[in-house]
Amino acid sequence: MTFQTPFEASPLLAQVAGLSRTELEKLQLTKLRRQLERLYTQSPYYRARMVTAGLKPDAVTSLDIFKARFPTSNKADFLADQLEHPPFGARLGIARDQVALVNMTGGTSGQGQEIYGRSQRDIHMQGYLHALPWFLAGLRPGDMAINCVPAGGMTTGGWGPGEGLRIIGATAFHVGGTLSTDAKIDLMRKLGDVNFVYASTNYLHTLTDALLRRGLEPREAFPNIRALFIAAEGYPIEWAEKIEAHWGCGLQEGYGSTQCAGFGGSTCDSGVVTKDGKRGLIHLFEWETMFEIVDPETGDPTQSGEVGEMVITNLSIEGSPVVRFRTGDAARYVSHKDSGSAWSWNAIECGTIGRFDDMMKIRGNNVWPSAIDAAVFGHAEVADYAGRVFTTEDGKTEIEVRLALSDNAAMTLSPEQRQNLFQSVRSAIKERNNIWVKLIEVERRALPEFAYKARRWTDERQSGYRL
């Protein structure tokens, strides 16, 4: 069978790929006005926001007017709405008896879980928004696909992958949350002809590390692997290059969330690392989700190349759509003019997406866990690490990093080489974050393993001040 490119194989992709920026924004405005007209009638929450802003749907004659006048919402707004109007809040955009599936956010922010009601059409949209990036990555009907993300449950990420793989027609094995890492590897080896693996960034690291510990080079164990697809966390370029070398195939990435009802964008053929060793781009699916990247303090649009907060608007979701929702996600915005792509879709930078609420203020510095990840995992000898910030009895702030070496490094490095490695890691952290840390070597089993998103850092400073 001749392998077709995504745009040869999909009329829809060919159509949206051929849109000029003016045509794309015209399509966005048409779908946006339809969404606002529906919500003005169906959703008391959004109708109230439009009334307060003095902005009826027919007054939204341009995207600029919408962005300037329509109020934003955030997680706290949605949680308050749910509390006052349980369970879905007044923002529900369909009749209660049309809710066919319930999704909830993961609650990793510690603020509570948003509840989303999905219509039957929304369920199909979730599948489409998962299938789309994987199809772009090269997944085709009949391919053997390994889904390492826990299936089912209440999250969009638990339901969407199954629908997406079914839509494509792939032969799917949903192993996340049901099998241990070693059991996953055993199953994959029995299958043999594995073509595609989907995992969180952290779990792909765990899976690769486990294979190497068993003396298995992934590219040799699975010679027919076509693509690896990751999401959810940042990573250093050096780590991505190492993963591609181990597996012998390209690494692809998508940006998604419950608010997007699936993936809102994904990489192109270039993958997460370009041929000249720079970070790749996640091209945004702007015909389904409208993205703004803004200064989190002022709300003003960021310039291409700058980091801002992602604000999203669903153009097609019916049940619990989000309109100008402030995600709290930090991303580096790249305009379609600067992306080097023929597509008119704006983009965000691969591997650097983070959370503004993950940032730690340490000794006067803004410290991002993703920046420490980049410093640590830039050293191939490191298997994993965990960090904590705490306050000593005399009130000093201390940072401790527990670090585990790969099996090979642990067995072969001399004491002098270990000392040089640790000094290099400390210096890299200092260079990227302007903080010195205390490094402690531990065995790999002393560190936690994460099945999905990693939470490598704990901030214990408040407990340090207890009397």
Ordered structural domains, the chain, with CATH: 1-356 (3.40.50.12780), 360-464 (3.30.300.30)
CB atoms within 10 A of CB 311: 24
Cβ atoms of 387 and 402 within 8 Å: the answer is yes
Tokens of 137: 């990555």
Tokens of 239: 């780590």
Positive or negative, the CA dihedral 86, 90, 92, 97 is positive
CB atoms within 10 A of CB 428: 19
Positive or negative, the CA dihedral 15, 326, 350, 303 is positive
Strands 382-391 and 457-459: parallel
Q: What are phi and psi of 101, to 5 degrees?
A: -155, 145
Helix, strand or coil for residue 360?
strand
Residues 6+ apart with CB under 8 A from 145: 134, 139, 165, 170, 171, 172, 173, 195, 196, 197, 198
Amino acid at 421: L
Q: Which residues pair with 257 in a beta bridge?
A: 262
Q: What does the alpha-carbon distance between residue 429 and residue 436 come to, in Å, rounded to a whole number?
A: 7
**Residue recorded with tokens 């955030």:** 74
Q: What does the alpha-carbon distance between residue 116 and residue 446 come to, in Å, rounded to a whole number?
A: 37
Strands 365-367 and 360-362: antiparallel
pLDDT at 279: 94
Q: Which of 321, 419, 421, 409 is nearest to 375 (CA)?
A: 421
pLDDT in tens, the chain (467 residues): 456 778 777 888 889 999 999 999 999 999 999 999 999 999 999 999 999 999 999 999 999 999 999 999 999 999 999 999 999 999 999 999 999 999 998 765 556 899 999 999 999 999 999 999 999 999 999 999 999 998 888 888 889 999 999 999 999 999 998 899 999 999 999 998 999 999 988 789 889 989 998 999 999 999 999 999 998 677 888 889 999 999 999 999 999 999 999 999 999 888 999 989 999 999 999 999 999 999 999 999 999 999 999 999 999 999 999 999 999 999 999 999 999 998 999 999 998 888 877 777 777 677 878 788 888 988 889 988 999 988 777 667 789 999 999 888 888 999 999 999 999 999 999 888 888 899 999 998 898 877 666 778 888 875 543 33
Q: How far is CA 432 from CA 70, 360, 371, 375, in A?
A: 38, 14, 7, 7
- 378 Rama class: left (phi>0) / alpha (psi -120 to 50) / beta: alpha
Q: Which of 451, 460, 454, 277 is nearest to 376 (CA)?
A: 454
Burial of 274 per CB tally in 10 Å (0-12, 13-18, 19+): middle
Q: How far is CA 154 from CA 158, 214, 326, 454, in A?
A: 7, 34, 22, 19
Q: What does the alpha-carbon distance between residue 108 and residue 96 come to, in Å, rounded to a whole number?
A: 27
What's the gap between Cα 343 and its chain centre?
22
Q: What does the alpha-carbon distance between residue 395 and residue 401 come to, in Å, rounded to a whole number?
A: 19
Cβ atoms of 121 and 148 within 8 Å: the answer is no
Q: What are phi and psi of 340, to 5 degrees?
A: 75, 10
Q: Which of 188, 237, 214, 192 is nearest to 377 (CA)?
A: 237
pLDDT at 465: 37
The pTM score is: 0.83
pLDDT at 232: 63
pLDDT at 466: 34
pLDDT at 464: 40
